[in-house]
Amino acid sequence: MSRTYYNVNKSKYSFDYENQVWVIEGKYQRCEHPESMDCKCYGKEHAGEKATITVHCH
């Protein structure tokens, strides 16, 4: 799966549009949903993992 995120300054913060998750300093961030919601967001399941920058970044 391609993990692409877009931002002018990728070293600070970006958004991965494919997975709908924020990336801060190259790592996926946990979603802001309450625990009681039991969401299956990409950010909740992959928080702290390194995001891969691909050639598709703008």
Residue 28: strand, helix, or coil:
strand
Task: Say how many domains are in the chain.
Answer: 1
Could you give the strand order of the β-sheet that contains 21-24, starting from the edge strand earlier in sequence? 13-16, 21-24, 27-28
- Residue 20: its pLDDT value, please? 86
6-47 pLDDT, tens digit per residue, is 555 555 778 888 888 888 888 999 999 998 999 999 999 999
Q: How far apart are CA 49 and CA 27, in angstroms?
A: 5
Q: From the CB of residue 48, how many other CB atoms can be counted at a distance below 10 Å? A: 9
Domain with 25, as residue range(s), is: 1-58
